[in-house]
Amino acid sequence: MSSAPQINDPDALVLSPDPSHPANLIPELCAAFYKLGWVTGTGGGICIRTGDKVYIAPSGVQKERIEPSHMFVLPYPQPTTDRIFLRRPALNLKESACTPLFWNAFEQRNAGSCIHTHSQNAVMATLLWPGGMFEISHQQMIKGVRRGGNGLALSYLDTLRVPIIENTPNEEDLKDSMAEAMERHPEAAAILVRRHGIYVWGDDWQKAKTQTECLDYLFEIGVRMKLAGLPTVLN
Amino acid sequence: MSSAPQINDPDALVLSPDPSHPANLIPELCAAFYKLGWVTGTGGGICIRTGDKVYIAPSGVQKERIEPSHMFVLPYPQPTTDRIFLRRPALNLKESACTPLFWNAFEQRNAGSCIHTHSQNAVMATLLWPGGMFEISHQQMIKGVRRGGNGLALSYLDTLRVPIIENTPNEEDLKDSMAEAMERHPEAAAILVRRHGIYVWGDDWQKAKTQTECLDYLFEIGVRMKLAGLPTVLN
Amino acid sequence: MSSAPQINDPDALVLSPDPSHPANLIPELCAAFYKLGWVTGTGGGICIRTGDKVYIAPSGVQKERIEPSHMFVLPYPQPTTDRIFLRRPALNLKESACTPLFWNAFEQRNAGSCIHTHSQNAVMATLLWPGGMFEISHQQMIKGVRRGGNGLALSYLDTLRVPIIENTPNEEDLKDSMAEAMERHPEAAAILVRRHGIYVWGDDWQKAKTQTECLDYLFEIGVRMKLAGLPTVLN
Amino acid sequence: MSSAPQINDPDALVLSPDPSHPANLIPELCAAFYKLGWVTGTGGGICIRTGDKVYIAPSGVQKERIEPSHMFVLPYPQPTTDRIFLRRPALNLKESACTPLFWNAFEQRNAGSCIHTHSQNAVMATLLWPGGMFEISHQQMIKGVRRGGNGLALSYLDTLRVPIIENTPNEEDLKDSMAEAMERHPEAAAILVRRHGIYVWGDDWQKAKTQTECLDYLFEIGVRMKLAGLPTVLN
């Protein structure tokens, strides 16, 4: 069985000289996201799935200072209802509290990566769009977002709509309302969480990242437009 | 014929130890523009023309992570109406969708470089100046902009005027309206595209870049002034 | 007596190849805080206490350019009412004027680190909350703050409250009012100083830093909400 | 005569392995100022005087990309009314257009360094304080500014006052009005130029830089306070 050597030496799952290995990419991307203001104060992060393995960062740590050896590796799909790991870091760490929410993106959209940010642009958007949906139209950056996060790109003539769900005291408890919102809105490329942040997914980390950049840009300019008294949706 | 070795080894067109080679400069500059918020989410970029060769980045990729080997090289002028390449990257990439718009700058202003940004300062300017022209006067940074983008520098006493054209669903379809705006406004140093961004050109990449910095600064301060109720043009 | 070699060679207290040594961490963290806008113009900084030794940066220097050899080392607790040093830099430097305020955090909360910033988000919060307390509720980032700075983390359902004390012409004179505010508000994780900045502490530098990030985020979004006319505390 | 070798080999004036040599510091500091938004689009910069020599960057170049070999060196004081150089770069460059204004700081305040920025915080301050003086009180950062730029530090109880002069089409023509404002306001630590930027000086580059940081912070928070309807001077 090919997974035997991994069980014998689980550290081989995260130690690689290849900078594009998920265990190297996640620390690099988290440091970049910190500079963008997306993952300060231990919040937020990115997970990467490569076929049957999921790489996830620890919970409650400085996201701009994680190392490959801090990484958790989980099998996908999970074989039982208990959470199973292929590799855990030696340190006394817990996997990211976002894990069940990342799983929504894998299971419902076959995502290869999912990003969670606490960006103030996203949070301000949830405050200035008090209903259940952020909407903006007629912005070039809309073209960088894909239908459902994994389909064809939107057109400049499409209105971008991102569902907003209500926050819960425990991050894990968002799993069901996020799953439900994804099911009800199959064209949604991301889910906003009021007073909290956003979850964005894509076929791979590159698509998840560029879509997060486009969405964050659209939240920022949408907020600026709304505060300037400009309409954010044209007919 | 001197171009023969290039046809034999097109990679020699983009592989150089010289950091000022266009194939090295474009990745470096795009990474710098990413930090400025000009080219997030795969949008925006810079092309460089050195006499009879044009260096262009790929479309739809993370602009802060491109490499010299990703570069397209095109002959200038184009010998036929079909698009001809001297070199294409080995990967399955498409040249930037801005290519026809960059060509406007080469053909109409003999530019050596053209920059396209999605800067929010530019986009906010197109929203707060709803007509066909952004205007600002009495700002020192106006002196960093050249008449027509390639002429003498403006004076502090000149009013800066940047034409605004309407966006189109396909970036290529901006070619004609951009060309027309450039012809109608021979003193314009750049063309704003409403709800999209800006195209700025110059005799070389240094002049294109410093003019983009000056214009971006002027859009930013113009927007701040307008929102603060200050007049942006004095008599 | 084990401290004898330290008295013989006090520089050994600050010269270490280990990047996690406090004398190496403080310069690195101050440079990072400079990029965040927390410690410009010589103001602000961080101190670290490891058991019976306190590492403190000099006063009145560029905080993003300090070096391990600039560090002061003090014994903790201080054996007399005069200030005692285990090591002083060779240069003509004075220890940070924040030293007595850092001591409040050690003595009252057993802190292992204390951070002082002049962040504009903190200062704007003290201006827009003119009373004695900054308050915000229903923000995910509240969960990154601990009760009293060293206790259990707050819940999403808790209202974050940070006492605001009035500034004094001499930084040292803040000692008593800061101590009194900490005593009166045992759940406070930090003390804001009106028109000046903030003091934040934690069990170690990591917790002090991540709590400062969470608080700074909450001041920033609180200010943005207040200026947008949004309520910052929900019932 | 000791200056003979310098005349024989003027490049020795700018080539040094010492990172604290002015010809190395100026490029490093200009790159740092670019990141702060102080010197974009070729505008702004810093000069350093060490006794009888003044080091000045070229005019009209990208300030974040200058090199030690681009530096001009001038004798101080200038022996004649014609401008004399100890060293000029080999390239076809002109010395900074700020040179006469930097000279005001040397002659009137015996400065060792002078910084010129186009910071939007400074420019917005000149727009929102339409009279001849920017004023702010009761801010901790005021303590980082020295009387006259080279005297004792201001106290928290002092009101910071920075004179504002009107801009002129040619930068050189500011020399007289700047000199006059410095003479009329001996306590001024800097001179703002309306719709243009600021000149700040100090005994050495460190003091010039930290004072510029404090002033820029005060302009930024002053502008934010004014736009929020808060009074910027208390009695």
Contacts of A128 in chain C (CB under 8 A): 228, 230
Domain identity same for C184 and C224: yes
Contacts of C169 in chain D (CB under 8 A): 155-157
| φ, ψ at B195 (rounded to 5°) | 60, 25
- Whether C108 has a pLDDT exceeding 90, the answer reads yes
| φ, ψ at D112 (rounded to 5°) | -100, -5
Q: How far, rounded to the nearest angstrom, does the alpha carbon of residue A210 sit from its chain's CA centroid?
A: 12
Of C62, C120, C127, the CB nearest to D210: C62
Mean of the per-residue pLDDT values of chain B: 95
Report the residue of A91, A172, A196 to disrupt the C interface, i.e. the one with the largest count of C CBs within 10 Å.
Answer: A196
Annotated binding-site members of C for substrate: 98
- Whether D79 has a pLDDT exceeding 50, the answer reads yes
- The pLDDT tens digits for A11-56 are 999 999 999 999 999 999 999 999 999 999 999 999 999 999 999 9
Contacts of D140 in chain C (CB under 8 A): 43, 118, 123, 167, 193, 195-197
Tell me whether residues B40 and A217 touch, CB distance under 8 A.
yes
- The whole-angstrom separation of Cα D83 and Cα D66 is 22
| Confidence at residue C224, expressed as pLDDT on a 0 to 100 scale | 98
Domain identity same for D108 and D161: yes
Domain identity same for D170 and D125: yes
| Confidence at residue A7, expressed as pLDDT on a 0 to 100 scale | 56
Number of domains present in the structure of chain D: 2
Task: Out of D44, D65, D96, pick the residue that ends a domain.
Answer: D96
Residue numbers of the domain that contains B175: 97-235
- The pLDDT tens digits for B159-177 are 999 999 999 999 889 999 9
Domain identity same for A73 and A138: no
Q: Is D16 on the interface with C (CB under 8 A)?
A: no
Q: Is C233 on the interface with A (CB under 8 A)?
A: no
Tell me whether residues D217 and C120 touch, CB distance under 8 A.
yes
pTM assigned to the model: 0.96
Domain identity same for A28 and A119: no
- The pLDDT tens digits for B185-196 are 999 999 999 999
Mean of the per-residue pLDDT values of chain A: 95
- Whether D125 has a pLDDT exceeding 50, the answer reads yes
Q: Are A198 and A215 in contact (CB under 8 A)?
A: yes
Helix/strand/coil for B234 = coil
- The whole-angstrom separation of Cα C38 and Cα C64 is 11
Task: Out of B75, B96, B117, pick the residue that ends a domain.
Answer: B96
Domain identity same for B109 and B167: yes
- Whether B4 has a pLDDT exceeding 90, the answer reads no
Could you tell me how many residues make up chain B? 235
Query: E strands of B104-176, at which residues?
Result: 113-117, 133-136, 160-165
Percent of chain C with pLDDT over 90: 91
- Token readout for A81 is 């209802």
Helix/strand/coil for B64 = helix
Domain identity same for C152 and C208: yes
Using CB atoms, which chains have 3+ pairs under 8 A with B?
A, D
Q: Is A228 on the interface with B (CB under 8 A)?
A: yes
pLDDT greater at residue D172 or residue D100: D100
Burial state string for B178-208 with b = 16 or more CB within 10 A and e = fewer than 16 = bbebbeebeebbbbbbbbbbbbbbbbebbbb
| Confidence at residue D7, expressed as pLDDT on a 0 to 100 scale | 56
Q: Is B169 on the interface with A (CB under 8 A)?
A: yes
Helix/strand/coil for B210 = helix
- The pLDDT tens digits for C139-174 are 999 999 999 999 999 999 999 999 999 999 998 899
Of D42, D128, D195, the CB nearest to B138: D195
- The pLDDT tens digits for A75-125 are 999 988 889 999 999 888 999 999 999 999 999 999 999 999 999 999 999
Supply the CATH number for residue C197's domain: 3.40.225.10
- Whether A8 has a pLDDT exceeding 80, the answer reads no
Tell me whether residues D62 and B220 touch, CB distance under 8 A.
no
- Whether C30 has a pLDDT exceeding 90, the answer reads yes
| Confidence at residue B7, expressed as pLDDT on a 0 to 100 scale | 56
Mean of the per-residue pLDDT values of chain D: 95
Domain identity same for B16 and B56: yes
| Confidence at residue D98, expressed as pLDDT on a 0 to 100 scale | 94
- Whether D4 has a pLDDT exceeding 70, the answer reads no
Tell me whether residues D41 and B139 touch, CB distance under 8 A.
no
Tell me whether residues C228 and A168 touch, CB distance under 8 A.
no
Domain identity same for B155 and B197: yes
Domain identity same for A80 and A145: no
Which residues are paired to D202 by β-bridges? Answer: D113
Tell me whether residues B43 and A140 touch, CB distance under 8 A.
yes
- The whole-angstrom separation of Cα C136 and Cα C226 is 10
Domain identity same for B218 and B178: yes
Q: Are D113 and D204 in contact (CB under 8 A)?
A: yes
Task: Out of B67, B96, B125, pick the residue that ends a domain.
Answer: B96
Burial state string for C134-170 with b = 16 or more CB within 10 A and e = fewer than 16 = bebbbbbbbbbbbebbbeeebebebebbbbbbebbee
Query: Where does the pLDDT of residue C4 fall: very low under 50, low under 70, confident under 90, or very high at 90 and above?
Result: very low
| Confidence at residue C91, expressed as pLDDT on a 0 to 100 scale | 81
Q: Are A51 and A60 in contact (CB under 8 A)?
A: no
pLDDT greater at residue C2 or residue B110: B110
Burial of C235 (0-12, 13-18, 19+ CB in 10 A): exposed
Rounded-to-10 torsion of CA D191, D196, D202, D207: 130
Query: Where does the pLDDT of residue A172 fall: very low under 50, low under 70, confident under 90, or very high at 90 and above?
Result: confident
Domain identity same for C78 and C106: no
Decide if the complex's ipTM is over 0.90. Answer: yes
